[in-house]
Amino acid sequence: MAYAASGVCAALMLPTSPPPAPGTVSTRPASTAMRGDLFEALDRLDSAPSAMLGSAISVAGTWTPASSDELATVSRRVVSCCAADAVDVGFDVRLSQYSRVAAGTWVRVDGIVGERVVDGDVRFVLEQSRVRGLEDDVKIAR
């Protein structure tokens, strides 16, 4: 009987109205993002791509070296719900001079915003780019 009474008491403490409707969902990085950050640049490209073409920008992200048929990339991972739906967003990178940087290295890339068409899709590329490491232990061989 004591268990039933405590169950009834617990049930009476439960809310009887539904929770409030959710507010605006944040789709941007935390406010500590660096000025000139990759997400900021992508937002500006979304709103006015022609105004950004030819602009010099500097972005930070994870480095993926070029392969025989792909340009290098600087990107950040975006998760909408869970790790299974994570995607990398960023820029293709065409370096002004060869730099050997390990895959997965945190880097800053300075370059000029351009565009190219790959398989019918417009991709933004940082032309005439320079890459530098942001981690203390990064060694970039030139």
Name the average pLDDT for the chain: 80
Contacts of 87 (CB under 8 A, 6+ apart): 77, 78
Q: What is the pLDDT of residues 23-80, one digit of tens each?
A: 555 455 544 444 448 888 988 888 998 889 999 999 999 999 999 888 999 999 888 8
Does residue 90 register a pLDDT over 70? yes
- Domain borders along the chain are 35-133
Sequence letter at residue 133 = G
pTM greater than 0.75: no
Query: Residue 62 class from Cβ within 10 Å (0-12 exposed, 13-18 middle, 19+ buried)?
Result: middle
Residue in 73, 53, 71 with CA at minimum distance from that of residue 63: 73
Contacts of 97 (CB under 8 A, 6+ apart): 130, 142
Question: What average pLDDT does this structure show over 5-16?
Answer: 68
CA distance 72 to 99: 11
The CATH fold of domain 35-133 = OB fold (Dihydrolipoamide Acetyltransferase, E2P) (2.40.50)
Does residue 121 register a pLDDT over 50? yes
Question: What average pLDDT does this structure show over 123-132?
Answer: 93
